[in-house]
Amino acid sequence: MDYFPIFLDLRGAPCLVVGGGEVALRKVRLLLAAGARLTVVAPDVVPELAALVEEGACAHLCQPFADALVSGQRLVVAATNLREVNHTVSEAAQTAGIPVNVVDDPALSTYITPAIIDRSPLVIAVSTGGGVPVLARLVRARLESLIPAGFGRLARFAARFRDVVKARFADVEARRMFWESVLEGPLAEDVMAGNEQRAETAFLERLASASDRPEGAVYLVGAGPGNPDLLTFRALRLMQQSDVVLYDRLVAPELLELVRRDAERIDVGKARAKHTLPQEDINALMVRLAQEGKRVLRLKGGDPFTFGRGGEEIETLAAHRIPFEVVPGITSASGAAAYAGIPLTHRDHAQSVVFVTGHRKDGVLDLDWPALTRPGQTVVVYMGLAMAAELCEAFVTHGKPATTPAAVVEWATTERQRTVTGTLATLPGLIARHGVASPALIIVGEVVGLAEKLAWYRPAADDA
């Protein structure tokens, strides 16, 4: 984080803008909207700025900048088209310990003016650290279209009842859950539509009947193959609502950054031959946390029901009468294949696809080899990297030609993705030579031969 985001209360605070052009005018408007007591320093000002001075909205000193002018100011903005003047303003403000922004010059600034979405009292600020202001404005434009104007009315409505709700719920979690139920339902829609009287009646009825003890629940959420952009909307919403997060080692760190900041995070990830928590303990932990009234997010890489043990976990939850919800995710096989340019099915090459795991059972690869070696199909092997040599040998032993195309996709869909392609005969050596590590999927079938032509996602140089 290059800049620490804060919101300043500038109501009645003395602020200084140096410059009298259109750029300075934009800053003046923002500071006046925040209630600042504003002085503009410039030999000349544009007509609209002169009109604001005439109206008494701000003061104007018709003179060049002098260091003494920063004295007593809460905030200083340099908005001239002369860098030497801007540099002088910046030095004077920083010497006096006053935050200063030099427009379009982050090197001379101690703070950045963000792009602003104003739904007062709800205010959202977007910044690129001054590096790409146009991008910040593009993000702001998107948010403007997504956030209804009525959110400001909703924020004012909720603020009216803040103290009443705080007195009603001694438990912080119960209070937060109550607010979330209010702010995301029909009651909130009434407020934003202007039906505040009906909303107030419904609010007070709900407050009177609300339980002091929050009801726990478990959400099994598929985090997808790794790229945060591939999350579902439902997954993201539950990630922001949950009190506790139990996550696997295959969940990318970037995804965990999207979880509610104050949620407790527990790593229950299981690696080959090294279990952070046995599955039975994970099941018991989910039950205990839910019985304590917590909303538990069970975050899994890929999809919970595709080699994710989701079925085992919800069996336990159902046996203990714990409310639960399952949110599917893009399974790792689909993500890896799509981002590697390998279609899992293709009219000319594969009419079916099979997902299997590459784990040993009692020391041997106990797989249905006659089914896996049928022609015209694609086989995706989960958790098979450590057994790659044995897997490829077994495919050939059971009838697959050694020249059958095969690939391994490492860290699929992320910036670390690598795709290594070869054949059943060459893939184990390629994996060793390129140091491919988990998480990775192996794909076997004629469709792998299309990878070179169809590959579209190249975050780094792929190995082949």
362 band by pLDDT with thresholds 50, 70 and 90:
low
Q: Which residues pair with 357 in a beta bridge?
A: 382
> pLDDT tens across 378-416, in order?
999 999 999 999 999 999 999 999 999 999 999 999 999
Can you tell me the distance from the alpha carbon of 205 to that of 222, in angstroms, rounded to the nearest whole number? 36
Q: What pLDDT score was predicted for residue 276?
A: 67
Averaged pLDDT, 18-31: 94
The Cβ-side half-sphere exposure at 438, using a 13 Å CA radius, reads: 16
Catalytic site residues?
248, 270
**DSSP of 255-322, one letter per residue?**
HHTTS-TTSEEEE--EETTEESS-HHHHHHHHHHHHHTT-EEEEEESB-TTSSS-HHHHHHHHHHTT-
Q: What pLDDT score was predicted for residue 277?
A: 81
Q: What pLDDT score was predicted for residue 144?
A: 84
Binding residues for NAD(+): 22-23, 43-44
Kindly report the pTM of this predicted structure: 0.68
pLDDT greater than 60 at residue 272? no
Structure tokens at 25: 């005018």
> pLDDT tens across 120-179, in order?
888 899 988 877 888 988 988 888 877 888 888 999 999 999 999 999 988 787 888 888
**What average pLDDT does the chain have?**
90
Give the chain's domains with CATH numbers.
14-113 (3.40.50.720), 151-209 (1.10.8), 217-330 (3.40.1010.10), 333-454 (3.30.950.10)
DSSP three-state, residue 15: strand
H or E element, residue 167: helix 162-168
Q: What pLDDT score was predicted for residue 132?
A: 83
pLDDT greater than 80 at residue 242? yes
Can you tell me the distance from the alpha carbon of 40 to that of 435, in angstroms, rounded to the nearest whole number? 62
| C-beta of residue 401 within 8 angstroms of C-beta of residue 391 | no
Cis bond upstream, residue 43 (ω within 30): no
Query: What's the count of helices (H) and strands (E) in the chain, helices before strands?
Result: 18, 19
Q: What is the CA radius of gyration of the chain?
A: 30
Q: What pLDDT score was predicted for residue 137?
A: 85
φ/ψ of 422, rounded to 5, equals -170, -140
pLDDT greater than 80 at residue 12? yes
| C-beta of residue 164 within 8 angstroms of C-beta of residue 206 | no
Instruction: Say which residues have a Cβ less than 8 Å from residue 136's Cβ, sequence separation at least 6.
Output: 114, 115, 126, 127, 128
Q: What pLDDT score was predicted for residue 424?
A: 97
How far is residue 266 CA from its own chain's centroid?
18
**DSSP of 431-448, one letter per residue?**
HHHHT--SSEEEEESGGG
Binding residues: 22-23, 43-44, 225, 301-303, 383, 412
203: buried, middle or exposed (CB in 10 Å: 19+, 13-18, 0-12)? buried
Q: What pLDDT score was predicted for residue 136?
A: 86
pLDDT greater than 90 at residue 314? yes
Averaged pLDDT, 352-369: 81
241 band by pLDDT with thresholds 50, 70 and 90:
confident
Bigger pLDDT: 150 or 11? 11
Q: What pLDDT score was predicted for residue 16?
A: 97
> pLDDT tens across 49-72, in order?
999 999 999 999 999 999 999 999
Q: What pLDDT score was predicted for residue 227?
A: 93
Q: What pLDDT score was predicted for residue 271?
A: 55
Averaged pLDDT, 290-310: 91
Structure tokens at 103: 């427009």
217: buried, middle or exposed (CB in 10 Å: 19+, 13-18, 0-12)? buried
